[in-house]
Amino acid sequence: MIDKRLFKLKGIIGTLMVLVFMTGIQGLTIIAQSVFMSRAIVDLWRGQSIEITLSNIVWFGLAFIVRQLLVVFKNQYMAGYADKAVENYRVQLLEKYTALGSTVVAKQGTGNAVTTLGAGLDNVKNYFQLLLIKVFDLSIIPWLVLAYIFYIKWEQGLFLLLIFPVVIIFFIILGLAAQSKADAEFANFKNLNNRFVDALRGLPTLKQLGLAETYSDEIYQISEDYRKTTMRTLKIAMTSTFALDFFTTLSIAVVAVFLGFDLLNGHMMLLPALTILILAPEYFLPLRNFSDDYHATLNGKNALTDVLAMIEEPNVSNQAVLQLTTWQSDSQLILNNINFSYDQQPVLKNITVQAKGYQKIALVGESGSGKSTLLNIIGGFLTADDGQIMINHQKLPHLAQADWQKQFFYMPQQPYIFHNTLRENIKFYAQNASENEVMDAIKNAGLSALVDELPDGLDSMIGESGRQVSGGQAQRITLARMLLDNQRKILLFDEPTAHLDIETEYDLKQAMAPILASHLVFFATHRLHWLDQMDYVLVLRQGEVVEQGEPRLLLADVNSQLNRLRYELGGK
């Protein structure tokens, strides 16, 4: 009944022991409350004075108050524990997302990641809080109550004991049906979230294509599916609650009828009969409470599966093999016969790259030839299937090395601008940079016009839900980040100007040229005019290096081939 995975939670054993103790006391107060209530009623029935029965009433009141206080205290205690446990999961999840990087989010979808971290963890919290209390109530209270009923009259106890498994079997059958519906409901919920986040991110594109309405119809359809599966789960939950109430009420009625016969036949006194009658609903109450909340916790159970699957994703191991303080003019990186596949589909084949000191290496090739994948392997964001990797003659299993990753800047096609001030966005890698250094970086990155334009200058909020910046401005902010930190000697560029118009690209190129000096540079690009800044070129085609060499030699070779072609065509 208790999910085994819960036993792995930190501090769970101690928490459960406290819960067991409180639930045991609660069970005793339930018995005490019923006994004193029955005594008070029987005394009053017999016409005793209120003074004589007052002590019973007071004891009943005390037992009642302690019982209710225990309910409140248990809820608060478990809420505190669930808060801590879920917070712990949240930290572990965030660490996992950070450690595994963007590839894992790309694999499972941003919507799924948002669901797991948001609503998913809230459901898990609900699950811990509700389920543990209800399970322990069900495991302790009915049996204490039943033991007391046995003590008063074993025949009634036996009847209640025998009816319990019948009710449980019924509950399990309905529970299994609800589980499959809840699985479908949760899958729909994740699908809805994924599509919704996807639609929000792609809204400008959808508008431009005139497809916003079609897409919104699709989202409406998915939300309808979600509504329907939710209603199906609710229907089963309601039926289950109704059936359980019906069975338990019927059982109590049977007990009442037998007690009535015993009273009429003089086999029993009023006090024990009344005590059993008051205790019988208490015997079934934990089961009814468990059933009420069981369906509410199913989503939590599913969410816990997702959370644990994500936390248990293997981390990249051996991240501290490399010992490298700084990349220097005589440092060397060698990739030998690297292969890489996405889902069994080879994307890089036998790639060999040798980079030394402050070389500038261009990766050129048509779209889909594997430039970004190679850069991702160089950056350690992806791990090659096989091949050798060496830095300064030290063999490495991959390049996700802490000492390597703190040596480089990575400039993607569309850099991410954080929701923060322009100043903080620029000081991203160099928190201790002085105001003068920031101003110099702004000037050299060509951001002065933007700073003048913004209402609060450097303190204006930019990024998500702040002032949006253009693609070129975003690249300039990344350049300013690079300019501020002169410790990192390696630059990885993944087509940084692919989305820019030719004028902006030209301006940016002027700003970038001085940064390239005294850095090892890997520059993936389609645009061949960048080759004049490079001193070595690797030409990729379908994942293979088809040509390599100094740009002027390659260009001379291309020119001579063109000339030969012209000559041959002219000759015909």
Using CB under 6 A, pick the residue from 49, 98, 265, 367 that binds ligand ATP: 367
| Contact status, residue 145 vs residue 282, Cβ threshold 8 Å | yes
- 412 is a site residue for ligand ATP (CB under 6 A): no
Of the candidate spans 370-378, 393-401, 457-465, 467-475, the one that interacts with ligand ATP by CB under 6 A turns out to be 370-378
- 370 is a site residue for ligand ATP (CB under 6 A): yes
| Contact status, residue 485 vs residue 432, Cβ threshold 8 Å | no
- 525 is a site residue for ligand ATP (CB under 6 A): no
Least distance in Å: CB of 528 to ligand ATP? 13
106-145 positions binding ligand ATP, by CB under 6 A: 106
Of the candidate spans 138-146, 315-323, 371-379, 561-569, the one that interacts with ligand ATP by CB under 6 A turns out to be 371-379
Of the candidate spans 221-229, 319-327, 368-376, 450-458, the one that interacts with ligand ATP by CB under 6 A turns out to be 368-376
Least distance in Å: CB of 335 to ligand ATP? 15
The 68-107 site mask, x for binding ligand ATP (CB under 6 A), equals --------------------------------------x-
Q: Is 353 exposed, middle or buried (0-12, 13-18, 19+ CB in 10 A)?
A: buried
Q: Which is nearer to ligand ATP, 121 or 374 (CB)?
A: 374
Beta bridge partners of 394: 391
Q: Which is nearer to ligand ATP, 273 or 347 (CB)?
A: 347
Q: Which is nearer to ligand ATP, 370 or 551 (CB)?
A: 370
Query: What is the Cα–Cα distance from 282 to 251, expressed in whole angstroms?
Result: 12
Q: Which is nearer to ligand ATP, 284 or 493 (CB)?
A: 493
Q: Which is nearer to ligand ATP, 70 or 335 (CB)?
A: 335
Query: What is the Cα–Cα distance from 301 to 91, expressed in whole angstroms?
Result: 19
- 496 is a site residue for ligand ATP (CB under 6 A): no
Q: Which is nearer to ligand ATP, 185 or 494 (CB)?
A: 494
Q: Which is nearer to ligand ATP, 14 or 368 (CB)?
A: 368
Nearest to 71 by CA among 26, 32, 37: 26
Of the candidate spans 71-79, 157-165, 319-327, 361-369, the one that interacts with ligand ATP by CB under 6 A turns out to be 361-369
| Contact status, residue 476 vs residue 508, Cβ threshold 8 Å | yes
Query: What is the Cα–Cα distance from 417 to 188, expressed in whole angstroms?
Result: 32
Of the candidate spans 202-210, 243-251, 364-372, 463-471, the one that interacts with ligand ATP by CB under 6 A turns out to be 364-372
Query: What is the Cα–Cα distance from 561 to 566, expressed in whole angstroms?
Result: 9
Query: What is the Cα–Cα distance from 211 to 196, expressed in whole angstroms?
Result: 15
Using CB under 6 A, pick the residue from 286, 365, 412, 551 that binds ligand ATP: 365
Least distance in Å: CB of 365 to ligand ATP? 6
Q: Which is nearer to ligand ATP, 367 or 432 (CB)?
A: 367
Q: Hey, is 367 helix, strand or coil? A: coil
For residue 185, what are the contacts with CB-CB under 8 A and spacing of at least 6? 226, 229, 230, 232, 233, 299
Is the sign of the CA dihedral 453, 459, 460, 464 positive or negative?
A: positive
Q: Is 375 exposed, middle or buried (0-12, 13-18, 19+ CB in 10 A)?
A: buried
DSSP state string for 286-347: HHHHHHHHHHHHHHHHHHHHHHHHHHTSPPP--TT----S---TT-EEEEEEEEEEETTEEE
Helices first, then strands: H and E counts in the chain: 18, 12
Using CB under 6 A, pick the residue from 80, 165, 368, 514 that binds ligand ATP: 368
- 445 is a site residue for ligand ATP (CB under 6 A): no
Using CB under 6 A, pick the residue from 29, 38, 299, 369 that binds ligand ATP: 369
Which residue carries 């990766």 as its tokens? 363
Nearest to 164 by CA among 290, 257, 258, 248: 248
- 371 is a site residue for ligand ATP (CB under 6 A): yes
| Contact status, residue 560 vs residue 529, Cβ threshold 8 Å | no
Least distance in Å: CB of 340 to ligand ATP? 9
251's tokens: 């059982």
Is the sign of the CA dihedral 502, 507, 513, 519 positive or negative?
A: negative
- 504 is a site residue for ligand ATP (CB under 6 A): no
**H helical segments located in 109-211:** 110-115, 121-126, 132-152, 154-201, 203-208
Using CB under 6 A, pick the residue from 112, 319, 372, 497 that binds ligand ATP: 372
Using CB under 6 A, pick the residue from 108, 112, 248, 373 that binds ligand ATP: 373
341-360 positions binding ligand ATP, by CB under 6 A: 342-343, 347
Least distance in Å: CB of 339 to ligand ATP? 13
Q: Which is nearer to ligand ATP, 233 or 369 (CB)?
A: 369
Least distance in Å: CB of 541 to ligand ATP? 10
Binding residues with ligand ATP: total (CB under 6 A): 12
90's tokens: 């949240």
Q: Which is nearer to ligand ATP, 157 or 365 (CB)?
A: 365
290's tokens: 């468990």
Q: Which is nearer to ligand ATP, 33 or 373 (CB)?
A: 373
Q: Which is nearer to ligand ATP, 282 or 494 (CB)?
A: 494
**Which parts of this chain interact with ligand ATP (CB under 6 A)?**
106, 342-343, 347, 365, 367-373
